[in-house]
Structure 1
Amino acid sequence: MSAAAPSSPSPPSQPPPPPPPAGPVGATTEDGDPLALALFGLTAVSGLIDAVSYLGLDHVFAANMTGNVVVVGFALAGAPGFSVLGSLTSLGAFLLGAALAGRLTTGRLRPALAVETVLHLAAAGVAFAWGTRGALQYGLIALLALAMGLRNATVRSLGVPDLTTTVLTMTLTGLAADTLSGRRSPRQRRRLLATLTMTAGTVPGAVLVLHQHLPWALLLAAAVTAATLFLYREPS
Protein backbone atom coordinates (compact mmCIF):
# COMPACT_ATOMS: atom_id res chain seq x y z
CA MET A 1 0.00 0.00 0.00
CA SER A 2 1.38 3.35 -0.96
CA ALA A 3 1.90 5.97 1.70
CA ALA A 4 -0.62 8.80 1.85
CA ALA A 5 0.61 12.06 0.45
CA PRO A 6 1.40 14.55 3.17
CA SER A 7 -1.32 17.14 3.56
CA SER A 8 -0.38 20.69 2.78
CA PRO A 9 -0.28 22.97 5.82
CA SER A 10 -3.33 25.14 6.24
CA PRO A 11 -2.69 28.85 5.78
CA PRO A 12 -2.45 30.79 9.03
CA SER A 13 -5.71 32.41 10.04
CA GLN A 14 -5.90 36.13 9.42
CA PRO A 15 -6.85 38.39 12.31
CA PRO A 16 -10.25 40.06 11.92
CA PRO A 17 -10.13 43.57 10.51
CA PRO A 18 -10.22 46.30 13.13
CA PRO A 19 -13.61 47.90 13.71
CA PRO A 20 -14.17 51.25 12.05
CA PRO A 21 -13.37 54.20 14.26
CA ALA A 22 -16.29 55.35 16.32
CA GLY A 23 -17.71 58.77 15.62
CA PRO A 24 -18.12 61.44 18.29
CA VAL A 25 -20.30 60.25 21.15
CA GLY A 26 -22.75 63.12 20.62
CA ALA A 27 -23.05 62.95 16.84
CA THR A 28 -26.56 61.44 17.00
CA THR A 29 -27.71 63.15 20.20
CA GLU A 30 -31.33 64.27 20.09
CA ASP A 31 -32.50 67.56 21.60
CA GLY A 32 -34.22 65.81 24.50
CA ASP A 33 -31.26 63.61 25.45
CA PRO A 34 -29.64 64.31 28.84
CA LEU A 35 -26.40 65.38 27.13
CA ALA A 36 -28.16 67.93 24.93
CA LEU A 37 -30.15 69.28 27.88
CA ALA A 38 -26.93 69.68 29.87
CA LEU A 39 -25.33 71.57 27.00
CA PHE A 40 -28.32 73.89 26.72
CA GLY A 41 -27.88 74.73 30.40
CA LEU A 42 -24.18 75.40 29.89
CA THR A 43 -24.96 77.65 26.93
CA ALA A 44 -26.99 79.82 29.29
CA VAL A 45 -24.03 79.90 31.69
CA SER A 46 -21.77 81.10 28.87
CA GLY A 47 -24.07 84.03 28.21
CA LEU A 48 -24.07 84.86 31.90
CA ILE A 49 -20.27 84.67 32.18
CA ASP A 50 -19.66 86.86 29.14
CA ALA A 51 -22.13 89.42 30.49
CA VAL A 52 -20.13 89.50 33.73
CA SER A 53 -16.72 89.67 32.07
CA TYR A 54 -17.59 92.18 29.36
CA LEU A 55 -19.73 94.55 31.41
CA GLY A 56 -17.95 94.16 34.73
CA LEU A 57 -14.33 93.22 33.97
CA ASP A 58 -12.99 95.82 31.56
CA HIS A 59 -14.71 94.74 28.33
CA VAL A 60 -13.15 91.28 28.19
CA PHE A 61 -14.83 88.06 27.05
CA ALA A 62 -14.28 84.95 29.17
CA ALA A 63 -16.19 82.51 26.93
CA ASN A 64 -16.11 83.94 23.41
CA MET A 65 -12.47 84.02 22.34
CA THR A 66 -13.27 85.46 18.90
CA GLY A 67 -14.45 88.54 20.72
CA ASN A 68 -11.16 88.78 22.61
CA VAL A 69 -9.11 88.64 19.43
CA VAL A 70 -11.18 91.51 18.04
CA VAL A 71 -10.92 93.45 21.31
CA VAL A 72 -7.11 93.14 21.26
CA GLY A 73 -7.19 94.65 17.78
CA PHE A 74 -9.36 97.52 19.01
CA ALA A 75 -7.02 98.19 21.92
CA LEU A 76 -3.90 98.08 19.76
CA ALA A 77 -5.51 100.58 17.40
CA GLY A 78 -6.00 102.95 20.33
CA ALA A 79 -9.75 102.59 20.81
CA PRO A 80 -10.67 103.73 24.35
CA GLY A 81 -12.21 101.40 26.92
CA PHE A 82 -10.50 98.16 25.86
CA SER A 83 -7.73 96.28 27.65
CA VAL A 84 -4.96 94.40 25.87
CA LEU A 85 -3.80 92.88 29.17
CA GLY A 86 -7.28 91.76 30.13
CA SER A 87 -7.97 90.14 26.78
CA LEU A 88 -4.57 88.44 26.68
CA THR A 89 -5.13 87.16 30.22
CA SER A 90 -8.43 85.67 29.11
CA LEU A 91 -6.93 84.12 25.98
CA GLY A 92 -4.04 82.59 27.91
CA ALA A 93 -6.23 81.14 30.65
CA PHE A 94 -8.72 79.80 28.10
CA LEU A 95 -5.97 78.03 26.16
CA LEU A 96 -4.58 76.58 29.39
CA GLY A 97 -8.02 75.24 30.28
CA ALA A 98 -8.42 73.71 26.84
CA ALA A 99 -5.01 72.05 27.11
CA LEU A 100 -5.87 70.61 30.53
CA ALA A 101 -9.14 69.26 29.15
CA GLY A 102 -7.22 67.45 26.44
CA ARG A 103 -5.47 65.46 29.16
CA LEU A 104 -8.10 65.21 31.87
CA THR A 105 -11.72 65.42 30.67
CA THR A 106 -11.85 64.44 26.99
CA GLY A 107 -15.17 62.72 26.31
CA ARG A 108 -16.39 63.11 29.92
CA LEU A 109 -18.60 66.03 30.80
CA ARG A 110 -19.11 65.49 34.54
CA PRO A 111 -15.47 66.06 35.58
CA ALA A 112 -15.42 69.25 33.53
CA LEU A 113 -18.64 70.40 35.20
CA ALA A 114 -17.17 69.74 38.64
CA VAL A 115 -14.06 71.80 37.90
CA GLU A 116 -16.10 74.57 36.31
CA THR A 117 -18.35 74.78 39.37
CA VAL A 118 -15.33 75.09 41.67
CA LEU A 119 -13.77 77.81 39.51
CA HIS A 120 -17.01 79.81 39.38
CA LEU A 121 -17.36 79.51 43.16
CA ALA A 122 -13.76 80.65 43.59
CA ALA A 123 -14.40 83.68 41.39
CA ALA A 124 -17.58 84.50 43.32
CA GLY A 125 -15.72 84.17 46.62
CA VAL A 126 -12.98 86.55 45.47
CA ALA A 127 -15.53 89.07 44.23
CA PHE A 128 -17.56 88.93 47.46
CA ALA A 129 -14.50 89.19 49.71
CA TRP A 130 -12.26 91.65 47.91
CA GLY A 131 -14.18 93.13 44.99
CA THR A 132 -13.12 93.39 41.36
CA ARG A 133 -10.81 96.40 41.25
CA GLY A 134 -7.18 96.57 40.21
CA ALA A 135 -5.25 93.35 39.87
CA LEU A 136 -8.20 91.36 41.24
CA GLN A 137 -10.09 91.73 37.98
CA TYR A 138 -7.32 89.90 36.13
CA GLY A 139 -7.51 87.05 38.61
CA LEU A 140 -11.26 86.83 38.07
CA ILE A 141 -10.82 86.90 34.30
CA ALA A 142 -8.28 84.09 34.54
CA LEU A 143 -10.54 81.91 36.71
CA LEU A 144 -13.54 82.34 34.42
CA ALA A 145 -11.62 81.87 31.16
CA LEU A 146 -9.86 78.80 32.57
CA ALA A 147 -13.26 77.26 33.32
CA MET A 148 -14.57 78.14 29.86
CA GLY A 149 -11.52 76.71 28.08
CA LEU A 150 -11.72 73.42 29.94
CA ARG A 151 -15.44 73.13 29.27
CA ASN A 152 -15.21 74.20 25.63
CA ALA A 153 -12.56 71.59 24.82
CA THR A 154 -14.55 68.91 26.63
CA VAL A 155 -17.73 69.77 24.74
CA ARG A 156 -15.77 69.76 21.48
CA SER A 157 -14.64 66.19 22.19
CA LEU A 158 -18.28 65.12 22.60
CA GLY A 159 -19.12 66.32 19.09
CA VAL A 160 -22.75 67.37 19.52
CA PRO A 161 -23.61 69.39 16.38
CA ASP A 162 -24.67 73.02 16.88
CA LEU A 163 -24.13 72.89 20.66
CA THR A 164 -20.68 74.25 21.32
CA THR A 165 -22.10 76.15 24.38
CA THR A 166 -19.88 79.20 23.78
CA VAL A 167 -20.10 80.30 20.13
CA LEU A 168 -23.20 80.88 17.99
CA THR A 169 -21.72 82.05 14.69
CA MET A 170 -22.07 78.78 12.76
CA THR A 171 -25.28 77.94 14.63
CA LEU A 172 -26.89 81.16 13.40
CA THR A 173 -25.42 80.62 9.93
CA GLY A 174 -27.08 77.22 9.69
CA LEU A 175 -30.33 78.56 11.08
CA ALA A 176 -30.54 81.35 8.51
CA ALA A 177 -29.18 79.39 5.54
CA ASP A 178 -31.51 76.42 5.96
CA THR A 179 -34.55 78.55 6.74
CA LEU A 180 -34.18 80.95 3.81
CA SER A 181 -33.32 78.16 1.35
CA GLY A 182 -36.39 76.18 2.31
CA ARG A 183 -34.41 73.14 3.50
CA ARG A 184 -35.93 71.26 6.43
CA SER A 185 -33.00 70.62 8.71
CA PRO A 186 -33.64 68.41 11.77
CA ARG A 187 -31.38 70.72 13.78
CA GLN A 188 -33.27 73.97 13.27
CA ARG A 189 -35.00 73.73 16.64
CA ARG A 190 -31.66 73.05 18.35
CA ARG A 191 -30.10 76.10 16.72
CA LEU A 192 -32.95 78.30 17.82
CA LEU A 193 -32.92 76.91 21.36
CA ALA A 194 -29.16 77.44 21.65
CA THR A 195 -29.59 81.07 20.66
CA LEU A 196 -32.44 81.58 23.11
CA THR A 197 -30.66 79.89 26.01
CA MET A 198 -27.55 82.02 25.59
CA THR A 199 -29.76 85.11 25.60
CA ALA A 200 -31.55 83.76 28.67
CA GLY A 201 -28.22 83.63 30.47
CA THR A 202 -26.97 86.98 29.22
CA VAL A 203 -29.98 89.00 30.40
CA PRO A 204 -29.86 88.17 34.14
CA GLY A 205 -26.06 88.41 34.11
CA ALA A 206 -26.24 91.89 32.60
CA VAL A 207 -28.98 93.01 34.99
CA LEU A 208 -26.99 91.88 38.04
CA VAL A 209 -23.77 93.54 36.86
CA LEU A 210 -25.48 96.80 35.90
CA HIS A 211 -27.07 96.94 39.37
CA GLN A 212 -23.71 96.40 41.10
CA HIS A 213 -24.30 92.73 41.96
CA LEU A 214 -21.47 91.12 39.98
CA PRO A 215 -20.59 88.57 42.72
CA TRP A 216 -24.17 87.33 42.73
CA ALA A 217 -24.01 86.82 38.97
CA LEU A 218 -20.94 84.61 39.47
CA LEU A 219 -22.73 82.73 42.21
CA LEU A 220 -25.68 82.20 39.84
CA ALA A 221 -23.31 80.79 37.21
CA ALA A 222 -21.88 78.38 39.80
CA ALA A 223 -25.39 77.34 40.86
CA VAL A 224 -26.55 76.57 37.31
CA THR A 225 -23.36 74.63 36.55
CA ALA A 226 -23.68 72.69 39.82
CA ALA A 227 -27.33 71.89 39.04
CA THR A 228 -26.30 70.61 35.62
CA LEU A 229 -23.62 68.44 37.27
CA PHE A 230 -26.17 67.06 39.74
CA LEU A 231 -28.81 66.26 37.11
CA TYR A 232 -26.58 64.89 34.32
CA ARG A 233 -25.32 61.31 34.31
CA GLU A 234 -22.70 60.03 31.88
CA PRO A 235 -24.00 57.18 29.66
CA SER A 236 -22.72 53.80 30.84
Structure 2
Amino acid sequence: MTNHQPAAGAGTETPGPGVGNRHPLALVLFTLTVVSGVVDAVTFLALDRVFAANMTGNVVVIGFAAAGAPGFSVTGSLVSLGAFLVGAALAGRLARAFRGRRRASWVRAALCGEAALLGVASALAFAGAADATYVLVGLLALAMGLRNGTVLKLNVPDLTTTVLTRTLTGLATESRLAGGGDVRAARRLLAALAMLAGALPGAWLVLHHGIGWPLLASTAAVAVAACVYRERPETPPGAPGS
Protein backbone atom coordinates (compact mmCIF):
# COMPACT_ATOMS: atom_id res chain seq x y z
CA MET A 1 0.00 0.00 0.00
CA THR A 2 1.44 3.36 -1.05
CA ASN A 3 1.73 6.00 1.63
CA HIS A 4 0.69 9.36 0.17
CA GLN A 5 1.16 11.29 3.41
CA PRO A 6 3.78 14.02 2.99
CA ALA A 7 6.73 14.16 5.30
CA ALA A 8 6.14 16.12 8.47
CA GLY A 9 6.53 19.79 7.74
CA ALA A 10 6.51 19.33 3.94
CA GLY A 11 4.90 22.35 2.34
CA THR A 12 4.28 23.98 5.72
CA GLU A 13 7.66 25.49 6.59
CA THR A 14 9.49 28.30 4.89
CA PRO A 15 12.70 26.96 3.28
CA GLY A 16 15.86 28.39 4.82
CA PRO A 17 16.69 30.73 1.91
CA GLY A 18 13.16 32.16 2.08
CA VAL A 19 13.13 32.93 5.81
CA GLY A 20 12.43 36.64 6.34
CA ASN A 21 13.83 38.87 9.06
CA ARG A 22 10.64 38.62 11.15
CA HIS A 23 10.27 34.88 10.81
CA PRO A 24 10.56 33.09 14.18
CA LEU A 25 13.63 31.20 12.96
CA ALA A 26 15.41 34.42 11.97
CA LEU A 27 14.62 35.93 15.37
CA VAL A 28 16.16 32.89 17.06
CA LEU A 29 19.28 33.22 14.89
CA PHE A 30 19.63 36.91 15.72
CA THR A 31 19.42 35.97 19.40
CA LEU A 32 22.12 33.34 18.96
CA THR A 33 24.32 35.91 17.23
CA VAL A 34 24.12 38.07 20.35
CA VAL A 35 25.08 35.04 22.44
CA SER A 36 28.11 34.41 20.21
CA GLY A 37 29.41 37.88 21.01
CA VAL A 38 29.06 37.17 24.72
CA VAL A 39 30.70 33.74 24.54
CA ASP A 40 33.71 34.93 22.55
CA ALA A 41 34.11 37.86 24.96
CA VAL A 42 34.32 35.33 27.79
CA THR A 43 36.80 32.98 26.13
CA PHE A 44 39.05 35.63 24.61
CA LEU A 45 39.20 37.98 27.57
CA ALA A 46 39.20 35.46 30.40
CA LEU A 47 40.05 31.99 29.07
CA ASP A 48 43.48 31.94 27.43
CA ARG A 49 42.62 34.37 24.61
CA VAL A 50 40.93 31.77 22.45
CA PHE A 51 37.59 31.77 20.65
CA ALA A 52 34.75 29.34 21.19
CA ALA A 53 32.55 30.51 18.31
CA ASN A 54 34.94 31.97 15.74
CA MET A 55 37.17 29.15 14.55
CA THR A 56 38.97 31.33 12.01
CA GLY A 57 40.26 33.30 14.97
CA ASN A 58 41.59 30.14 16.59
CA VAL A 59 43.53 29.12 13.49
CA VAL A 60 45.12 32.58 13.40
CA VAL A 61 45.86 32.43 17.14
CA ILE A 62 47.66 29.09 16.67
CA GLY A 63 49.82 30.77 14.03
CA PHE A 64 50.59 33.66 16.38
CA ALA A 65 51.48 31.30 19.22
CA ALA A 66 53.61 29.10 16.97
CA ALA A 67 55.57 32.19 15.90
CA GLY A 68 56.32 32.95 19.54
CA ALA A 69 53.87 35.82 20.09
CA PRO A 70 53.30 36.17 23.85
CA GLY A 71 49.93 35.70 25.49
CA PHE A 72 48.45 33.19 23.04
CA SER A 73 47.74 29.52 23.73
CA VAL A 74 48.18 26.75 21.21
CA THR A 75 46.68 24.28 23.68
CA GLY A 76 43.59 26.36 24.34
CA SER A 77 42.98 26.93 20.64
CA LEU A 78 43.40 23.24 19.86
CA VAL A 79 40.99 22.30 22.67
CA SER A 80 38.48 24.77 21.25
CA LEU A 81 38.89 23.53 17.68
CA GLY A 82 38.58 19.89 18.70
CA ALA A 83 35.50 20.44 20.85
CA PHE A 84 33.90 22.58 18.14
CA LEU A 85 34.36 19.81 15.56
CA VAL A 86 32.84 17.26 17.94
CA GLY A 87 29.88 19.58 18.47
CA ALA A 88 29.43 20.04 14.73
CA ALA A 89 29.51 16.27 14.24
CA LEU A 90 26.84 15.90 16.92
CA ALA A 91 24.77 18.50 15.06
CA GLY A 92 24.94 16.34 11.94
CA ARG A 93 23.78 13.33 13.93
CA LEU A 94 20.96 15.34 15.44
CA ALA A 95 19.82 16.60 12.05
CA ARG A 96 19.67 13.03 10.74
CA ALA A 97 17.81 11.85 13.82
CA PHE A 98 15.13 14.49 13.20
CA ARG A 99 14.94 13.98 9.45
CA GLY A 100 11.31 13.90 8.32
CA ARG A 101 10.09 15.60 11.47
CA ARG A 102 9.08 19.20 11.94
CA ARG A 103 11.90 21.70 11.88
CA ALA A 104 10.76 23.32 15.12
CA SER A 105 11.33 20.09 17.06
CA TRP A 106 14.83 19.73 15.64
CA VAL A 107 15.76 23.36 16.31
CA ARG A 108 14.43 23.19 19.87
CA ALA A 109 16.47 20.05 20.52
CA ALA A 110 19.63 21.79 19.30
CA LEU A 111 18.83 24.87 21.40
CA CYS A 112 18.26 22.72 24.48
CA GLY A 113 21.60 21.02 23.91
CA GLU A 114 23.38 24.37 23.61
CA ALA A 115 21.61 25.74 26.69
CA ALA A 116 22.57 22.65 28.69
CA LEU A 117 26.26 22.99 27.80
CA LEU A 118 26.23 26.71 28.54
CA GLY A 119 24.49 25.96 31.83
CA VAL A 120 27.18 23.51 32.90
CA ALA A 121 29.85 26.07 32.00
CA SER A 122 27.98 28.70 34.02
CA ALA A 123 27.80 26.42 37.05
CA LEU A 124 31.52 25.70 36.86
CA ALA A 125 32.28 29.41 36.54
CA PHE A 126 30.23 30.30 39.62
CA ALA A 127 31.74 27.38 41.54
CA GLY A 128 35.20 28.79 40.86
CA ALA A 129 36.47 25.39 39.78
CA ALA A 130 40.26 25.44 39.91
CA ASP A 131 42.19 24.77 36.69
CA ALA A 132 38.94 24.57 34.74
CA THR A 133 40.00 26.84 31.89
CA TYR A 134 40.26 24.12 29.27
CA VAL A 135 37.11 22.42 30.53
CA LEU A 136 35.20 25.68 30.14
CA VAL A 137 36.70 26.31 26.71
CA GLY A 138 35.78 22.78 25.66
CA LEU A 139 32.20 23.07 26.89
CA LEU A 140 31.64 26.43 25.20
CA ALA A 141 33.25 25.34 21.93
CA LEU A 142 31.19 22.13 21.99
CA ALA A 143 28.04 24.24 22.35
CA MET A 144 29.09 26.53 19.50
CA GLY A 145 29.92 23.56 17.27
CA LEU A 146 26.52 22.01 17.93
CA ARG A 147 24.92 25.32 17.04
CA ASN A 148 27.05 25.98 13.94
CA GLY A 149 26.37 22.55 12.52
CA THR A 150 22.65 23.09 13.01
CA VAL A 151 22.72 26.58 11.48
CA LEU A 152 24.61 25.22 8.47
CA LYS A 153 21.84 22.69 7.90
CA LEU A 154 19.14 25.35 8.32
CA ASN A 155 20.68 27.30 5.42
CA VAL A 156 19.33 30.75 6.27
CA PRO A 157 21.41 33.27 4.26
CA ASP A 158 23.58 35.78 6.14
CA LEU A 159 22.67 34.42 9.56
CA THR A 160 25.59 32.16 10.45
CA THR A 161 25.39 33.49 14.07
CA THR A 162 29.17 33.33 14.65
CA VAL A 163 31.11 34.96 11.78
CA LEU A 164 30.51 38.19 9.89
CA THR A 165 33.16 38.25 7.15
CA ARG A 166 30.91 36.95 4.38
CA THR A 167 27.95 38.92 5.73
CA LEU A 168 29.85 42.21 5.62
CA THR A 169 31.33 41.35 2.23
CA GLY A 170 27.83 40.82 0.88
CA LEU A 171 26.72 44.10 2.43
CA ALA A 172 29.44 45.97 0.53
CA THR A 173 29.41 44.12 -2.80
CA GLU A 174 25.63 44.25 -3.12
CA SER A 175 25.29 47.85 -1.94
CA ARG A 176 24.02 50.65 -4.16
CA LEU A 177 27.49 52.13 -4.04
CA ALA A 178 28.76 48.99 -5.78
CA GLY A 179 25.89 49.06 -8.29
CA GLY A 180 23.78 46.49 -6.45
CA GLY A 181 20.33 46.60 -4.98
CA ASP A 182 21.15 46.42 -1.26
CA VAL A 183 19.92 42.82 -1.17
CA ARG A 184 19.40 41.74 2.46
CA ALA A 185 21.17 44.90 3.67
CA ALA A 186 18.92 45.17 6.72
CA ARG A 187 19.61 41.58 7.75
CA ARG A 188 23.34 41.99 7.33
CA LEU A 189 23.42 45.15 9.38
CA LEU A 190 21.24 43.58 12.07
CA ALA A 191 23.56 40.56 12.24
CA ALA A 192 26.59 42.81 12.76
CA LEU A 193 24.77 44.86 15.38
CA ALA A 194 23.60 41.68 17.14
CA MET A 195 27.20 40.47 17.45
CA LEU A 196 28.23 43.85 18.82
CA ALA A 197 25.24 43.82 21.18
CA GLY A 198 26.62 40.62 22.69
CA ALA A 199 30.33 41.43 22.65
CA LEU A 200 30.07 44.84 24.32
CA PRO A 201 28.05 43.94 27.44
CA GLY A 202 29.71 40.53 27.52
CA ALA A 203 33.14 42.15 27.70
CA TRP A 204 31.94 44.63 30.35
CA LEU A 205 30.58 41.84 32.52
CA VAL A 206 33.77 39.81 32.17
CA LEU A 207 35.97 42.78 33.07
CA HIS A 208 33.89 43.91 36.04
CA HIS A 209 32.04 40.84 37.33
CA GLY A 210 33.85 37.74 36.04
CA ILE A 211 32.63 35.10 33.61
CA GLY A 212 29.76 33.59 35.57
CA TRP A 213 27.17 36.27 34.86
CA PRO A 214 27.71 36.57 31.10
CA LEU A 215 27.58 32.79 30.79
CA LEU A 216 24.41 32.65 32.85
CA ALA A 217 22.84 35.37 30.68
CA SER A 218 23.78 33.40 27.56
CA THR A 219 22.27 30.24 29.02
CA ALA A 220 19.04 32.06 29.82
CA ALA A 221 18.81 33.61 26.34
CA VAL A 222 19.21 30.26 24.58
CA ALA A 223 16.84 28.50 26.99
CA VAL A 224 14.15 31.13 26.44
CA ALA A 225 14.61 30.84 22.68
CA ALA A 226 14.13 27.08 22.95
CA CYS A 227 10.94 27.51 24.98
CA VAL A 228 9.26 30.15 22.84
CA TYR A 229 10.31 29.08 19.34
CA ARG A 230 7.42 28.01 17.16
CA GLU A 231 7.32 27.71 13.40
CA ARG A 232 5.19 30.00 11.29
CA PRO A 233 3.43 27.57 8.94
CA GLU A 234 2.85 28.37 5.31
CA THR A 235 -0.26 27.35 3.43
CA PRO A 236 0.69 24.54 1.02
CA PRO A 237 0.11 25.34 -2.66
CA GLY A 238 -3.37 24.28 -3.78
CA ALA A 239 -4.76 24.21 -0.24
CA PRO A 240 -7.98 26.14 0.49
CA GLY A 241 -7.20 29.80 0.99
CA SER A 242 -3.82 29.62 -0.72
Q: TM-score, normalised by structure 1?
A: 0.86
Distance 2:221 2:95 in 1: 20
Which residue is equivalent to 2:172?
176
Long gaps (5+) in structure 1: 1-21
For 1:99, give the aligned amino acid: A
Residue 75 (structure 1) aligned to one of 44, 50, 65: 65
Which structure has the bigger radius of gyration? Answer: 1
Distance 1:200 1:185 in 2: 23
Q: CA deviation at 1:234?
A: 4.1
1:138-173 deviation digits (Å, cap 9, x = unpaired): 000000000000000101101000000011000000
Distance 1:111 1:235 in 2: 18
- 8 A Cα contact 2:23 2:232, kept in partner: no
For 2:146, give the aligned amino acid: L
For 2:114, give the aligned amino acid: E
Q: CA deviation at 1:227?
A: 1.4
**1:1-236 alignment, distance < 5 Å:** 25-105=15-95, 108-131=106-129, 134=131, 136-179=132-175, 180-234=177-231
- 8 A Cα contact 1:110 1:234, kept in partner: no
Aligned positions, number? 212
For 1:118, give the aligned amino acid: A
Long gaps (5+) in structure 2: 1-10, 97-102, 234-242
- 8 A Cα contact 2:87 2:144, kept in partner: yes
- 8 A Cα contact 1:60 1:71, kept in partner: yes
- 8 A Cα contact 1:98 1:153, kept in partner: yes
- SS for the counterpart of 2:86 is helix
Q: TM-score, normalised by structure 2?
A: 0.84
- SS for the counterpart of 2:209 is coil
Q: CA deviation at 1:27?
A: 1.0
Q: CA deviation at 1:109?
A: 1.4
Moved over 3 A (4+): none
> Percent identity among equivalent residues?
59
Distance 1:173 1:111 in 2: 32
For 1:90, give the aligned amino acid: S
Which residue is equivalent to 2:5?
none
For 1:113, give the aligned amino acid: L
- SS for the counterpart of 1:142 is helix
1:92-147 deviation digits (Å, cap 9, x = unpaired): 0000000011011356311110000000110000011124x53x000000000000
Distance 1:162 1:98 in 2: 19
